[in-house]
Amino acid sequence: MEEYVKTGSKAMKDIFLIFVIAFMLLFIYHKPKGFDTIYFTLAFLPLIYIVYYLHVRLFPMGEIQLIILSSFLAEMGLIMIYRVAPDLILKQIAWIFIGFILYFVSSYVSKYYDFFYNVKYGNYVYLAISFILLFSTFVLGKEIGGSKNWLTFGSISVQPSEIVKIIYIIFLARYLKDNKTTKDIIKVGAITIVIVGILVIEKDLGTALLFYLTTTFMIFAATSSLLYTTASVAFLGFGGGISYFLFNHVRVRIQAWLNPWMDVPGKTYQIAQSLFAIGAGGFFGTGLGMGHPEYIPVVASDFIFSAISEEFGMLGSVAIILVYFVIMYRGIKVALDAKDDFGALIAVGLTSMFSLQVFTIIGGVIKFIPLTGVTLPFVSYGGSSMVMSFITLGMLNGIAVREDEDVEQYEPQH
């Protein structure tokens, strides 16, 4: 046990060191605009220190690794964001701060996850909320970066679909725990397809895919049925094929994936520049500040992985993939150790959604699969993504330390 704790704190010390060294370089490379920038950036260190010890105290049986891993990813994100867009760093730190807070909040809430189960008419409530949120962008939404699923309030943009992800998972877990007949599965399938359809029309193909596959995996976990799984995958292929012909934006993405060099100045610009960057990085990378990640478009959010590949090399980018792998492992562990099916299903859903998102964005920027507009959790610049990722991990932590609601309060005798 001792070694366990010691290794954990050593890992945190590694995170400190990496941060300090990287920013030593970065502050030379991009002179900070004011002392504020330095203070708030360095404030990251005490922040994760506090979060770490708070977590050990509050959740002794909890998933401390989630904090360690998300701190590492957040720090890599901060390093890269300061490298390519120093003006964005303060906002990102603010989001990380909010994210950690929400982590603890959602942990506490999820500790009592039975609550979610016991909401009257829960299924309908969750579905209603989901659809309202999704339709809100349909009606009021702004198109940013090629997909119309943002709501703007002044200078802050949020993606309601991120919230829907979690609510929908809770809905599915609740539904699938009790209703596993074929009719039920078809009903759930239909609802999912409607949601996916909305997202496809809004051109948020990545999120659509995530919803679809997460639902498939949750159904598989709940029913063990290969039939549903194969049917689902087949339908995915079929649907994909149809949308290729139906929707121009789908067609363009797939063509760009198959031949990224066909229109480098135009349609395939993004993926081409991403590949140049990854190629330039080689094995060890060019070194911080020595590469040219500024040639990559959308580099602070979607393509941040390519920037990391360029300056930290393949070794760096593989390390990041491994970190996500471990997060996935811990999520699965939470699911396996969960006390009941409901908790397990939520954990499966959260882990699936999270892991699929990571696979989708990394796969897209390295041209393993067609490009989609999802973000890299904790690393990409962006509030909604950061917050939702922390909430996801927070919920996993909560499920892990699940407490019964009904422990009677004991009055001490004197």
Within residues 34-73, the interface with other proteins by CB under 8 A covers 57-58, 60-61, 65, 68-69, 72
Radius of gyration of the chain (CA): 22
- Which one of 1-9, 84-92, 164-172, 374-382 is the stretch in contact with other proteins (CB under 8 A)? 1-9
Check the CA dihedral 138-198-357-294 and report its sign: negative
Relative orientation angle of helices 383-400 and 304-337, to the nearest 10 degrees: 20
115 lines the binding site for other proteins (CB under 8 A): no
Tell me whether residue 127 or residue 236 sits nearer to other proteins (CB atom): 236
Tell me whether residue 251 or residue 339 sits nearer to other proteins (CB atom): 339
Contacts of 111 (CB under 8 A, 6+ apart): 398, 401, 402, 403
410 lines the binding site for other proteins (CB under 8 A): yes
Residue in 67, 362, 374, 396 binding other proteins, rule: CB under 8 A = 362
Tell me whether residue 34 or residue 404 sits nearer to other proteins (CB atom): 404
Contact 92, 379 (CB under 8 A): no
224 lines the binding site for other proteins (CB under 8 A): yes
Kindly state the smallest distance separating residue 176's Cβ from other proteins, in Å: 10
By C-alpha distance, which of 321, 324, 264, 320 is closest to 297?
264
- Which one of 135-143, 186-194, 247-255, 326-334 is the stretch in contact with other proteins (CB under 8 A)? 326-334
Question: What token pair was written down for 261?
Answer: 């060099």
The Cα–Cα gap between 238 and 318 comes to 33
Q: Is 18 exposed, middle or buried (0-12, 13-18, 19+ CB in 10 A)?
A: middle
- Under DSSP, the state recorded for 261 is T
Residues 288-317 that bind other proteins (CB under 8 A): 288-292, 295, 309, 312-317
Sheet holding 156-158, edge to edge: 142-144, 147-153, 156-158
| Number of chain positions touching other proteins (CB under 8 A) | 98
SS3 407: coil
Kindly state the smallest distance separating residue 155's Cβ from other proteins, in Å: 32
Residues 229-248 that bind other proteins (CB under 8 A): none
31 lines the binding site for other proteins (CB under 8 A): no
Q: Residue 144 pairs with which residues in a beta bridge?
A: 147
Contact 338, 391 (CB under 8 A): no
Contact 142, 196 (CB under 8 A): no
379 lines the binding site for other proteins (CB under 8 A): no
The stretches of 85-181 forming alpha helices (DSSP H) are 89-111, 114-118, 122-140, 160-178
Tell me whether residue 132 or residue 321 sits nearer to other proteins (CB atom): 321
- Which one of 94-102, 113-121, 122-130, 217-225 is the stretch in contact with other proteins (CB under 8 A)? 217-225
220 lines the binding site for other proteins (CB under 8 A): yes
Tell me whether residue 198 or residue 222 sits nearer to other proteins (CB atom): 222
Tell me whether residue 242 or residue 290 sits nearer to other proteins (CB atom): 290
Q: Residue 152 pairs with which residues in a beta bridge?
A: 157
Q: Residue 151 pairs with which residues in a beta bridge?
A: 158
Tell me whether residue 334 or residue 387 sits nearer to other proteins (CB atom): 334
Residue in 221, 374, 388, 393 binding other proteins, rule: CB under 8 A = 221
Question: What token pair was written down for 174?
Answer: 């609740």
Residue in 160, 189, 285, 394 binding other proteins, rule: CB under 8 A = 285
Question: What token pair was written down for 165?
Answer: 């992800």
Residues 151-190 that bind other proteins (CB under 8 A): none
Strands 142-144 and 147-153, how do they pair?
A: antiparallel
Kindly state the smallest distance separating residue 304's Cβ from other proteins, in Å: 15
Strands 142-144 and 156-158, how do they pair?
A: unpaired
Kindly state the smallest distance separating residue 169's Cβ from other proteins, in Å: 14
- Which one of 133-141, 184-192, 364-372, 379-387 is the stretch in contact with other proteins (CB under 8 A)? 364-372
Give the contact letters, 327-356, x = binds to other proteins (CB under 8 A), - = no.
-xx--x--xx-xxxx--x---x--xx--x-
Residue in 129, 193, 231, 326 binding other proteins, rule: CB under 8 A = 326
Residues 265-284 that bind other proteins (CB under 8 A): 265, 272, 275-280, 282-284
Kindly state the smallest distance separating residue 297's Cβ from other proteins, in Å: 12
Contact 44, 19 (CB under 8 A): yes
401 lines the binding site for other proteins (CB under 8 A): yes
